[in-house]
Chains A and B, each alone.
Chain A
Amino acid sequence: MNFTIGHLILVIVGAGIITAIVTKFNRLSGSITALLLSIGIAFVCFYPAFHILPISFTTGDYTFIFNLSTLSRFFLMLFSGMFPLVIMATVSTKPKAHYYFFFYLILASVIGTISSQDLLSFFFFFELMTLFSYLLVIYKKRAIKAGLVYILMGIIGGLSLLLGIFYVFWLSKDFRISVEILKGSYATLFLLSLPFLIKMAAMPVHIWAPDTYKESEDVYTAFLSGVLSKLGIYGLIFFWFTWGIYGLSAWGKVFDVPVTGYIIAWIGAITAFIGAVYALLSEDVKKLLAYSSISQLGYILVGFGIMSSLGWAGALYHTLTHTIFKTMLFIVVAGIIFRLNTTKLSEMGGLIKKMPVSFLTLLVGIIALAGVPPTMGFASKYLIYSALFEKKLFLLTAVVFAASTAAFLYAYRLIHNIFLGPLKTSLKNTKEAPLPFLIPSLILSLFLVMFGFFPGVPLEWINNILMSLGMKSIASTFTTISTSLGGFNGLLSSSIFISIFGIIFILYLILFPKAKWVNDKNTFTAGEVMHNTDLLTYSSHFYRFLEREFGLLIKLSVKKLYDNILGIFEWMFDVARKLLYHGNVNGYVWAIILVTLTFVISFLIGGLR
């Protein structure tokens, strides 16, 4: 069956309208409708028998072209696959009509963005996506202030993109991208990268992310973090690719990496590390995950900046991994918040027995986040490290590794503060999160583990992308990945781990007698009698010792810098306004006379042109 991209977008918009109308009548059936329609859309995007054809139309001297490149297909499948899972998780929260309406519009604009092959359509859909995302962020009253910062940063990115696009237009007299034109221009590079760095919340333009992620509706945060941030890496590859790799080395190389890439890699590394530090110091679970997102996206930037096959493979692989596990983590946490009605980590604890399924899925997510086998997180980390080693970038390796280890810290904090430790008395009657949250989490955990066993499978798709962009592919089979330096066998290491675990577990069952279960009030307290075990929960300021040692550094804030800079500009404008529009009509008349005299005098002197 053939249909064009335009049809796909219209279908999605139509689905949004239908869902909105149904939700107006009955919220639950609205959610179900949304779910079914989203599954349908995903099916259409995945099933190979449906050919999605390019489309282009021309009006006047404007031409708009839409086509799905290999890169676009990858993202299309990723996003359309994530969409139903996120929608599924919204069923319990019973959102209003305009929630689903904007959600579908966001998906439509995302697909429009990734299928645009000319600059104007790209800009159109990119801005549209930012706008609808903003409208969905302010769905919750508490998110109004955060939404303001979000849309303003989005518009700064949008205007930078617009200026960059018009600069390209001026150089090439065309809005379609052409390779030769873009070589060697500092301004274009900066202008065309800034919006995507903002989207990916790279430092120092990340200021919108923590508050926006925290305040927006819990399930939507999963989509924001999982899907929308990936538009950043898509945009970077899309625009940088058109330079051609050869064009980039026009500024020279550092350690055999183009300078421009090196700068991006450093931005990524610093983001990864500082993001992780802020994550482990957060007291709020959504803020922790927000900083974690910022940190993980930093890895993608590192991989991208290395500008080698391995680097880009690592970046794309980590895009896939991060989308899956971050969406899953946010959904699980949304389920927990749904039950507990709090997002403060200090108010949670000991939920492992009450919410075992959430615990298991969060555990898989944490393992993937840490990049430990047997999940696919390891493969992406492996590729990035191999890329770093291959190009001998030791300082970057150190920072990335520090960030990676810091990830263990906040990952452990996340799972410990929510599920481990003694059960708080206020949480005695907590039930497991409702099914709509659990099903997507389980499905996604399955993928994480499956690709851990078979790390070569996503790599095959990624190799297709690399070859379409003109780079060498990474040698891989379904189960192994090999690089010029070494390699690993995912199936082997994962199965050995599982089998050893199994053997020991069986031995344990055989050799160990039935355990005597003790409850969490029965712990070693060196002889003291504790009446209130709530006081024994070690959760707030988990890493206080770090806060103590590095306190001063943590107090520095980019946000204050922005406020100061904005303050200066505002002051300038205020002075101008008070000077000129002072309200005194005599002054106005004098001003007019002065201007006239200036014109007259220059006329008399210059003799006019």
Chain B
Amino acid sequence: MVNPVLLIAVPLIGAFLIPLLSAVRLKVLSRYIVFITSSFSLVSAILLFYHVTYTGILSVSIAGFKPPFGINLEVTLLGCIIVVLLSLGVLISSFYNLFIYPSEPEDKFNIALILLLLGGTGISLTGDMFNMFVFLEITSIAAYILSAYKRNGTGEEAGLKYLFIGSIGSLFFLLGVILLYTQAGSLNIARLAQYSASHLNNPVILFSAIMFIVGLGIEAEIFPFNWWVPDVYQAAPDSISSVFAGAISKVGIYAFIRIFITVFNGIPYYEALIYLVLVGSLIAEGAALFQKDIKRLFAYSSLGQIGFIVFAFLLKRADGYSAGIFMLLNHALVKMLIFILIGGIFVALSTTEIEKMKGIGRKSPILGILFTIGILTLAGLPPFSGFYAKLFLLKATFQHNYFIPAIIIIVASLIEAFYLFRLIYIFYSPGHEKKHSFSTASLATGFILIILILGMSIIPFHIKKQYTDKAAKSLFMRSLYIKEVK
């Protein structure tokens, strides 16, 4: 049994360690620190998950002050899953960075990476609203720094855009928190949940819900708030795009879910939001058709998929939540894989333009196979896990009697198929005559992720039963959450 506080403390210690090391000119060690820290986080999160499976939601008070006065960590199954994903993402990214050095200054890069891990973990594990805001800020600032790390024009522009829009998001979040506090008198999430359950007609509560929609929508990349995503994913260094697309987006979704399912127990403007989200997916998938830059293409693709994931959580049913969590897992693994492989391509070709990538599938068969498996999973073709994700989602949708959303999902899948297979077509077209060596680091990381994806593909029903169904159930039963804090 690992004390969840360690999951926050260790990265923090790591973050402080790095500047100390830099002072003694041991900058290089910073990347190992990230690697070790994230490995620790991953292992602890997995252990914590199994612990919570057996003993139920865990509530840990910090510094002995019991809620509602003190801050507590409320560790849920879903939270653990998110932390697992986040630490996996950071681990992969740091492993990649061990070989492909990020741009200078390296130590600050790694500090920001650790802070990203720290912030995301905090959001996923905390039971206190303001605490969540703090961690949200930490995550955001780290993200701003990391996205602007490439000091070419695009990097700085992206970072600036992210800064503007992200700040507005934080602002709205804070407003929402304040409004809730004025009504409920507590900042503890469980307490707020209990309060709002009985005070749904209070207009202030509902107004704060709107604030949260905007604020968390920006962070969770929901349409119409996700304007920053394409620029940032494109401009950030490849390993960072991998973490963003794979993990940080999921953290944002977690925050969104936690507020709206646990605290507000349902969302006002529920149907409007469903259609908004799905239309956003459609537009994003359609936008992906035209992209000439592969990172931007997958950024739009991410937006589409995230639209579906959020839609799954708007379904108000346990099987919908389960489908959403499964999709979330699947999407995280796939996006991490793809962006890391793009990193490998960038190292070899120094470009991320799709037209210039003709024929790399033939030059490096391993890269081709890994990328193709990733694309097939994303497209939702059997036998890979993406198919099961779509299956579960559609089943939940139809059981909810939602037709038009189902049709939109299928149309979006169709559009997806178009640009994804066009990518395979370009990869395997006769093209490049020069031999390029694709970095083994990216192939190796890709390999690890492929094994995870294949694992998900072979035993999807087992994963569903053991992990996602349980997490969904615990999410659905918010009373468990509230009870724990008493």
Chain A residues close to B by CB (< 8 Å): 59-60, 62, 120, 123-125, 127-128, 131, 138, 141, 144-145, 147-148, 151-152, 155-156, 158-159, 162-163, 166-167, 169-170, 569-570, 572-574, 576-577, 580-581, 583, 585, 588-589, 591-592, 595-596, 599-600, 602-603, 608-609
Contacts and interface: CB of A to CB of B under 8 A. Distances in A.
B354 interface: no
Given A144-B428, A151-B421, A589-B165, A159 B286 contact: no
B206 A608 contact: yes
| Nearest 4 A/B pairs, CB to CB | A573-B286, A588-B227, A577-B287, A59-B461
Interface stretch (B13-21, B142-150, B409-417): B409-417
A476 B214 CA distance: 74
A585 B164 contact: yes
A interface: dominant SS: helix
Nearest to B200: A608
Given A62-B461, A166-B394, A592 B382 contact: no
B422 A162 contact: no
Interface string B211-223: 0011000100000
Given A144-B428, A156-B414, A603 B206 contact: yes
B197 interface: no
A60 B388 CA distance: 13
Given A144-B428, A573-B287, A602-B269, 17 more contacts: A60-B461, A123-B382, A124-B383, A144-B430, A151-B421, A155-B381, A162-B394, A170-B398, A572-B286, A576-B287, A585-B164, A585-B165, A588-B164, A588-B228, A592-B168, A599-B213, A603-B203
6 contacts: A59-B462, A60-B461, A148-B425, A573-B415, A576-B283, A592-B225
Contacts of A609: 268, 270
B400 to A, nearest CB: 10
A580 B283 contact: yes
Contact of B210 (A159, A569, A603): A603
A581 B286 CA distance: 12
Given A138-B428, A148-B425, A573-B286, A592 B165 contact: yes
Contacts of B290: 570, 573-574, 577
A159 B382 CA distance: 12
A169 B424 CA distance: 33
Contacts of B228: 588
A581 B287 contact: yes
Contacts of B391: 120
Given A144-B425, A151-B421, A581-B287, A591 B410 contact: no
B316 interface: no
B382 A124 contact: yes
A159 to B, nearest CB: 5
Given A585-B161, A599-B210, A603-B206, A141 B430 contact: yes
Interface in B356-400: 376, 379, 381-383, 387, 390-391, 394-395, 398
B295 interface: no
Given A148-B421, A609-B268, A169 B398 contact: yes
Interface in B244-269: 268-269
A395 B352 CA distance: 58
B198 interface: no
A573 B422 CA distance: 17
A159 B414 contact: yes
A363 to B, nearest CB: 38
A212 to B, nearest CB: 13
A588 B165 contact: yes
B224 A127 contact: no
Given A591-B224, A595-B224, A581 B230 contact: yes
Interface of B: 160-161, 164-165, 168, 172, 203, 206-207, 210, 213-214, 218, 224-225, 227-228, 230-231, 268-270, 283, 286-287, 289-290, 376, 379, 381-383, 387, 390-391, 394-395, 398, 401, 403, 406-407, 410, 413-415, 417-418, 421-422, 424-425, 428-430, 461-462, 464-465, 469
A585 B160 contact: yes
Contacts of A591: 224, 227
Contacts of B230: 581
A573 B289 contact: yes
A574 B464 CA distance: 38
A262 B56 CA distance: 61
B407 A159 contact: no
A127 B382 CA distance: 6
Nearest to A125: B382
Nearest to B299: A581
A73 B407 CA distance: 35
Contacts of B406: 163, 166
Contact of B269 (A59, A145, A599): A599
A131 B165 contact: no
Contacts of A596: 172, 210, 214
B383 A128 contact: yes
Contacts of A123: 382
B286 A589 contact: no
A331 B286 CA distance: 42
Contact of A152 (B168, B394, B407, B418): B418
B286 A577 contact: yes
Given A60-B464, A144-B429, A166 B395 contact: yes
Contacts of B407: 163
A485 to B, nearest CB: 46
A572 B287 CA distance: 10
Contacts of B270: 609
A163 B403 CA distance: 10
A125 B289 CA distance: 28
A131 B382 contact: yes
Given A166-B398, A577-B290, A608 B268 contact: yes
B161 A588 contact: yes
B327 to A, nearest CB: 16
B227 A59 contact: no
Contacts of A589: 164-165, 168
Contact of B214 (A155, A588, A595): A595
A138 B429 CA distance: 10
A155 B417 contact: yes
A62 to B, nearest CB: 7
A145 B426 CA distance: 9
Contact of A603 (B164, B207, B424, B465): B207
Contact of B417 (A138, A144, A152): A152
A60 B213 CA distance: 34
A169 B382 contact: no
Nearest to B414: A159
Nearest to A574: B290
A592 B214 contact: yes
Contacts of A577: 283, 286-287, 290
Contacts of B395: 166, 169
B387 A581 contact: no
Contacts of B382: 123-125, 127-128, 131
Contacts of B422: 148
A123 B218 CA distance: 37
Contacts of A62: 461
Contacts of A155: 379, 381, 414, 417, 421
A160 B270 CA distance: 28
A147 B425 contact: yes
Contact of B218 (A125, A141, A592): A592
Contacts of A128: 382-383
A140 B425 CA distance: 12
A97 to B, nearest CB: 12
A579 to B, nearest CB: 9
A59 B413 CA distance: 26
A583 B230 CA distance: 9
A152 B383 contact: no
A138 B427 CA distance: 12
B410 A159 contact: yes
Nearest to B394: A166
Contacts of A120: 391
A123 B203 CA distance: 48
